[in-house]
A and B are shown apart, each in its own frame.
Chain A
């Protein structure tokens, strides 16, 4: 079951530095939302607050509300581990676990939830790898180390790993930035399939990609160096790319930025 996310009045700090200011956004279930904007405007920072990943960074801090189907994920009695089981994440740089085989990488998140029968795991591994468009390439070497794959294959392995635990929401931070056009296309197709079941938020620097895969697009920008990033405009992707409300948005997507 995909879930909806409602963010209101979100500020994110790195110790005293306000990195992202006053973001409010509503993300519908079973949609793909693209976040675009210039480098350093806080897209990754914002994305990481959606599953409390920023708490890993010392002295990072959040104000405001993030609701997952009406539940505040920052409420005092919420366990961040459970939040992350519900909201998965794929990172910009592929990070397969180097000591684990391809197979073990895929089931790494599952193994801790409960005991599994070998056959069950086999099914999940095949399904996840097929979804991530990697099955054909690794089918005969599942026992080999995951780190022995090419960069693009590693990234698809990380996607397989993330969807194996069946999260309700999948966050992707520039998942294709290190990939060739064919792998990129494979992952875009995958995103199209995944949105039947999951809510997806993807950060990308690739305008065509945002236009191709997303239903809604959010444009982040910052007023100047040292200023916090803000959500400038958030609307249907079609509208953002054809007739945006804000002048800044139009300048950015047409490449006349500065």
Chain B
């Protein structure tokens, strides 16, 4: 082309619209072949071990499948296949511990996960006795976490509302910074703090409430952070739409901003609850431990599930170890149940205004 305003010829070649694609069955075929060949290699060479086999076979599969794709489909598709396979493998690897833990806990826990276990305490039950249960611990943990949630949720959400809707300046940044620092607070420190303040300085006794206070410290940063992020995601145009109707700011927050952010806030609260449900250290420090039922979270030691598991697992006795697994299963089941309930709450709260 000549000078001036002439458009330079494009360096891009026009691409054909059609090309070879791998059929779906070929992936299965390649996988079977690679796994079989690897098995053969393990049989005839010095290679051995199940883990080694899977690592090698999966790696070989990713490489060979990509190579096959390159040969048949071309370079761009091969890169796409390779990335897709990596993502898939990462997903499966991440799934292994999750499924493993839940599966193994169910497997071990089901032996003792029965009506007796859910309705009886450990009062007058020796470690080798086959009966006994976690009722006292379930009551304790549920009460402690419930009290902690009742205190932490409004506090946390209010702090988040303050940070997003009201603070403009240094003080807000300071609060934000402190919350960040608190996120990394080890749970034992929270327990020690309540122990020093509540039990030693204020001369309060061991109680479920003391444990709840320690849990509040652990829940707050999670709730504040997630709520803050969710409130920030609410578009300003919604706030403006509300103001333009003459709705005051506080009502805009209550009726428009919070409901819009609600599903995310509920998720944050659930994360916080799930985190503290299994906290052992602070609970052990300020609640103590009890083998009998204590319905009153405001006075005296109470049982709790994490401490129950900890105690039972320490016994050198198979029946006690079984109880520990049943306790672990109970813990996981309660957290899952709560998650399901929270999802329903979030969904139903969304429909109406």
Contact of B246 among A56, A85, A98 (CB under 8 A): A85
Residues in chain A near residue B46, CB distance under 8 A: none
A95 touches B260 (CB 8 A): no
* A29 CB, min distance to chain B CBs, angstroms: 19
Binds A, one of B20-28, B234-242, B295-303: B234-242
Report if A158 contacts B (CB, 8 A): yes
B244 touches A53 (CB 8 A): yes
A88 touches B245 (CB 8 A): yes
Report if A162 contacts B (CB, 8 A): yes
Q: How many A-B residue pairs have CB under 8 A?
A: 82
Contact of B240 among A58, A91, A104, A145 (CB under 8 A): A91
128-164 of chain A: CB within 8 A of chain B: 145, 158, 161-162
42-65 of chain A: CB within 8 A of chain B: 51, 53, 56, 58
Q: How many residues of A contact B (CB 8 A)?
A: 31
Over the window 87-124 of chain B, the binary record of Cβ atoms lying under 8 Å from chain A Cβ atoms (1 yes, 0 no) is 00000000000000000000000000000000000000
Nearest A-chain residue to B255, judged by Cβ? A108
Nearest A-chain residue to B258, judged by Cβ? A99
Contact of A84 among B168, B245, B251, B353 (CB under 8 A): B245
Expressed in whole angstroms, the Cα–Cα distance for A240 and B235 within the complex equals 38
Given contacts A97-B353, A99-B259, A101-B352, contact A91 B241 (CB under 8 A): yes
* A163 CB, min distance to chain B CBs, angstroms: 11
Q: How many residues of B contact A (CB 8 A)?
A: 25
Given contacts A81-B248, A108-B255, contact A95 B241 (CB under 8 A): yes
A162 touches B353 (CB 8 A): no
Given contacts A56-B239, A91-B237, contact A99 B353 (CB under 8 A): yes
143-196 of chain A: CB within 8 A of chain B: 145, 158, 161-162, 165
Nearest A-chain residue to B241, judged by Cβ? A95
Nearest B-chain residue to A58, judged by Cβ? B168
Expressed in whole angstroms, the Cα–Cα distance for A161 and B245 within the complex equals 8
A108 touches B237 (CB 8 A): no
Give the residue among B235, B241, B243, B255 with the most A Cβ atoms within 10 A: B241
Report if B256 contacts A (CB, 8 A): yes
Residues in chain A near residue B259, CB distance under 8 A: 99-100
Give the residue among A84, A105, A161, A162 with the most B Cβ atoms within 10 A: A84
B247 touches A108 (CB 8 A): yes
Expressed in whole angstroms, the Cα–Cα distance for A61 and B305 within the complex equals 58
A109 touches B353 (CB 8 A): no
Residues in chain A near residue B271, CB distance under 8 A: none
* A159 CB, min distance to chain B CBs, angstroms: 12
Contact of A56 among B243, B245, B260, B262 (CB under 8 A): B243
217-254 of chain B: CB within 8 A of chain A: 235-248, 251
Report if B350 contacts A (CB, 8 A): yes
B238 touches A95 (CB 8 A): yes
82-118 of chain A: CB within 8 A of chain B: 82, 84-86, 88-91, 93, 95-101, 104-105, 108-109, 112
A95 touches B245 (CB 8 A): no
B245 touches A93 (CB 8 A): no
B244 touches A112 (CB 8 A): no
Expressed in whole angstroms, the Cα–Cα distance for A99 and B258 within the complex equals 10
Residues in chain B near residue A56, CB distance under 8 A: 236, 239-240, 243
Nearest A-chain residue to B238, judged by Cβ? A95
Expressed in whole angstroms, the Cα–Cα distance for A100 and B241 within the complex equals 13
A53 touches B241 (CB 8 A): no
Residues in chain B near residue A84, CB distance under 8 A: 243-246
Expressed in whole angstroms, the Cα–Cα distance for A89 and B251 within the complex equals 18
Give the residue among A112, A145, A161 with the most B Cβ atoms within 10 A: A112
* B241 CB, min distance to chain A CBs, angstroms: 4
Residues in chain B near residue A51, CB distance under 8 A: 244
Expressed in whole angstroms, the Cα–Cα distance for A56 and B240 within the complex equals 8
Contact of B244 among A99, A104, A105, A162 (CB under 8 A): A162
310-353 of chain B: CB within 8 A of chain A: 350-353
Given contacts A58-B168, A97-B353, A101-B353, contact A108 B260 (CB under 8 A): no
Given contacts A58-B168, A97-B260, contact A109 B237 (CB under 8 A): no
Given contacts A56-B239, A93-B237, contact A99 B245 (CB under 8 A): no
Residues in chain A near residue B236, CB distance under 8 A: 56
B245 touches A109 (CB 8 A): yes
Residues of B within 8 A of A (CB): 168, 235-248, 251, 255-256, 259-260, 262, 350-353
18 further contact pairs, Cβ within 8 A, besides A91-B237, A95-B237, A104-B352: A56-B239, A81-B246, A81-B247, A84-B245, A84-B246, A85-B245, A85-B246, A88-B246, A89-B244, A90-B244, A95-B240, A95-B241, A97-B242, A98-B260, A99-B256, A108-B256, A109-B246, A145-B351
Could you jot down 18 A-B contacts, CB within 8 Å?
Answer: A53-B243, A53-B244, A81-B247, A82-B246, A84-B244, A88-B246, A91-B240, A95-B240, A95-B241, A96-B241, A99-B259, A100-B259, A100-B353, A104-B352, A109-B246, A112-B247, A145-B351, A161-B245
